[in-house]
Structure 1
Amino acid sequence: MSSSLVKMVLFCLRPVRRYALMIKDDEDDSDDHDDSLLWSRELERHSLGDFSMAVVQANEVIEDHSEVETGKGAVFVGVYDGHGGPEASRYISDHLFAHLIRNSRERGVITEETLRGAFSATERGFLTLVRRTRGLKPLIAAAGSCCLVGVIRKGTLLIANLGDSRAVLGSMNRSNKIVAEQLTSDHNAAQEEVRQELRSLHPDDPRIVVHKQGLQRPVLSAEPCVYTRVLQTSDKFVIFASDGLWEHVSNQQAVEIVHKHPRPGIARMLVRRAMNIAAKKKGMMYDDLKKVERGVRRFFHDDITVAVIFIDNELLMVEKATVPELSIKGFSHTVGPSKFSLFFS
């Protein structure tokens, strides 16, 4: 495959409707039940605590895909921020976790190596799909996706990131204040060191970094940045979100919102906060923005995906499953058995 095609496939830009349930908070008490582009799972259980998910669509076809997989003493979360169409992000959602379970089952443990292997296998599979279908669907060669995943098992948090989605940890400091710790680096061409790496990797392509209405955001490769952390009793939750949230809400603002409010509906509250800020930037009210149709709404904000994974420390070392092993896909009605059962069988 030519380098230009690989670049298009891996290019990462910022570039099924379901009615959401409603929650009130003391800073924004607007109803959002009439926003058909906003989806949420208010609060679900995983064997290490609770989790909350929310997605709001802005593009004509939603390009964010996401999932939470619950297993015996473990939880997996994936946020896949697509561009140029949903093909790449949807493919990742359908295949990456299965590759991870297959690789990890052979070794009996989920590791940085098996997670990297899952990324590589998913990339190879998608490139094969591109080669096979680009004659009939040439635009698939321009589709790509950022990819952020996390696994918590046996008191350890394992994160892999490719692109500019972000994982932020909320922890209590010695003064009993909630503080934010960004666990991932934003992997995009807005950073000078990333631009230099792009140019060094593609010396024959003078347009690998292009200025057009601001910097575009190409991903360097499908090799993720991987991070491992042994969780402490001070670690309370992790926010996984596409860059649509972080464009409008800072790390510290996000963890304070999660810490301040009840758990049910907290992911949707973060999405709404980003939408409120986006509306104000354009001189609009939130109630007006939520009436804007998909496609047109992209002028105000991106697709936004948020998953908040709470960590209940007393459950971290418990191996016995306390909840069903489920797979929940963001912004769809898809809820079914998780492939985690294959790993633990």
Structure 2
Amino acid sequence: MMRSCCRPLERCFGRLNGDGLLWHMDLKPHASGDFSIAVVQANSSLEDQSQVFTSPSATYVGVYDGHGGPEASRFVNRHLFSYLHKFSKEQGGLSSDVIKRAFHATEEDFIQLVKRSLPVMPKIASVGSCCLVGAISEGELYVANLGDSRAVLGRRGFDAEKNSVVAERLSTDHNVSCEEVRKEVESLHPDDQDVVVYIRGVWRIKGIIQVSRSIGDAYLKKLEFNRDPIFQRYGNLVPLKRPVLTAEPSIVTRSIRPHDLFLIFASDGLWEQLSDQLAVEIVFKNPRAGIAKRLVRAALQEAAKKREMRYRDIQKIEKGIRRYFHDDITVIVIYLDHQKESFHSKGTLGSITAPVDIFSFNSNDAEENQVIEAF
């Protein structure tokens, strides 16, 4: 048996009074604790997508932050977990190799969709998505990432008397605003002095995009799209000698430890406003119910403060216009309750026989979904 929670958002969330663009789910159970989720829209079309998979033996989390449109993030939301299931079953359990294969298969499928859709929808070659996935299975934690969404662990401080919490970043931000990432991209293109340029106060690859890894962005990865006359009529004329983006995820694995308390998975809209440490302190110091919503509200309050506005003034701004004040924000908080025996069960995503839940949070726009549905 499988139950799904999908479009439109109102079916899954309750709306927050005073802000018609914020949805939230206060608390649901997963294999080793509880989780909470919240989403606030800023763009004309919600480009953030997310999902949580729960079973008695495993928990999977996905946060997909689209750019250039919602098509790529929606596509990942529909296909990535299916590949995780397939490859886990084939290889007898979860592993870094399984996760990489699932990412690569999703990327290849989307590139094929771009190829078929280009004549009727040229812009799809410039649509992409960051992709952050977390998995907890048999007491092991896997975090895989493309782009600048981020996973942060909240663990108890070693000084128990102070009852403190420490933030531990588990993912790498693949964003050329980071000097290390910028140098990595430049080292791969020694003959291209303009591969990363500083434009309007921001570092960007080819003056266009900040992230160096993604699903999609086909015209920055495949010369056939970059040079296609149909796409060139659409715009974004960027001469390339070789691909400047990749879909190779960075993967971190670690055992769940007794002092690990919770995980925060969020799109960069949250981290543009809150530091890792402030975010984990908010989770640590407040009740569980509605904690993801509390993080989103804290981010919106910070965004309002930067503009010398009141929080309630931002709540009144319509989607599209609101993007000038903050990005789409998705937050999923996963609590880690170590007393639960499910950490030691032998099930995997590929061998579930008990009921499972998949909560998939996205928007419903029939016109924008047309090409994706055709796939």
- Structure 1 CA distance, aligned partners of 2:152 and 2:306? 24
Task: After superposing the two structures, state which structure 1 stretch, 195-204 or 286-295, moved more.
Answer: 195-204
- Structure 1 CA distance, aligned partners of 2:303 and 2:19? 16
> What TM-score results when the alignment is normalised by the length of structure 1?
0.85
Q: 1:70 to 1:203 in 2, by over 3 A?
A: same
How far the C-alpha of 1:248 sits from its partner, in A, is 0.7
Kept in 2, the 8 Å contact 1:39–1:331? The answer is no
Instruction: Tell me the residue number matched to 2:236.
Output: none
> What TM-score results when the alignment is normalised by the length of structure 2?
0.78
Give the counterpart letter for 1:317 in structure 2.
H
Work out which of the residue numbers 294, 301, 317 in structure 1 matches 2:344: 317
Instruction: Tell me the residue number matched to 2:144.
Output: 160
RMSD of equivalent CA atoms: 2.0
How far the C-alpha of 1:106 sits from its partner, in A, is 0.5
Give the counterpart letter for 2:262 in structure 1.
F
Instruction: Tell me the residue number matched to 1:93.
Output: 77
Pairing of 1:109-128 with structure 2 (within 5 A): 109-128=93-112
Work out which of the residue numbers 61, 70, 79 in structure 2 matches 1:77: 61
Task: Check if 1:68 corresponds to 2:68.
Answer: no
Instruction: Tell me the residue number matched to 2:361.
Output: 330
Instruction: Tell me the residue number matched to 1:262.
Output: 287
Task: Check if 1:215 corresponds to 2:208.
Answer: no
How many percent of aligned residue pairs carry the same amino acid? Answer: 50
Instruction: Tell me the residue number matched to 2:31.
Output: 47
- Structure 1 CA distance, aligned partners of 2:189 and 2:114? 21
- Secondary structure at the counterpart of residue 20 of structure 2: coil
Task: Check if 1:288 corresponds to 2:313.
Answer: yes
Task: Check if 1:250 corresponds to 2:237.
Answer: no
- Structure 1 CA distance, aligned partners of 2:192 and 2:300? 38
Work out which of the residue numbers 184, 191, 203 in structure 2 matches 1:197: 184
- Structure 1 CA distance, aligned partners of 2:38 and 2:83? 25
Q: 1:85 to 1:205 in 2, by over 3 A?
A: farther
Task: Check if 1:274 corresponds to 2:299.
Answer: yes
Per-residue CA shift, 1:86-129, capped at 9, x if unaligned? Answer: 01111111111111110110111010000000000011001001
Instruction: Tell me the residue number matched to 1:56.
Output: 40
- Structure 2 CA distance, aligned partners of 1:234 and 1:318? 21
- Structure 1 CA distance, aligned partners of 2:189 and 2:115? 22
Structure 2 spans left out of the alignment, 5+ residues: 1-7, 205-209, 213-244, 365-375
Per-residue CA shift, 1:136-183, capped at 9, x if unaligned? Answer: 101111111111100001111011011111100011122121111011
- Structure 2 CA distance, aligned partners of 1:293 and 1:324? 40
Instruction: Tell me the residue number matched to 2:234.
Output: none
- Structure 2 CA distance, aligned partners of 1:54 and 1:272? 10
Residues paired across the two proteins, number: 309
Kept in 2, the 8 Å contact 1:46–1:323? The answer is no
How far the C-alpha of 1:318 sits from its partner, in A, is 4.2
How far the C-alpha of 1:319 sits from its partner, in A, is 5.4
Give the counterpart letter for 2:170 in structure 1.
L
- Structure 2 CA distance, aligned partners of 1:48 and 1:191? 34
- Structure 2 CA distance, aligned partners of 1:284 and 1:331? 29
- Secondary structure at the counterpart of residue 198 of structure 2: coil
Kept in 1, the 8 Å contact 2:150–2:172? The answer is yes
Q: 1:204 to 1:94 in 2, by over 3 A?
A: farther
- Structure 2 CA distance, aligned partners of 1:203 and 1:121? 30
- Structure 2 CA distance, aligned partners of 1:132 and 1:311? 43
- Secondary structure at the counterpart of residue 77 of structure 2: helix
- Structure 2 CA distance, aligned partners of 1:146 and 1:135? 25
Kept in 1, the 8 Å contact 2:46–2:363? The answer is no
Give the counterpart letter for 1:277 in structure 2.
E
Give the counterpart letter for 1:269 in structure 2.
R
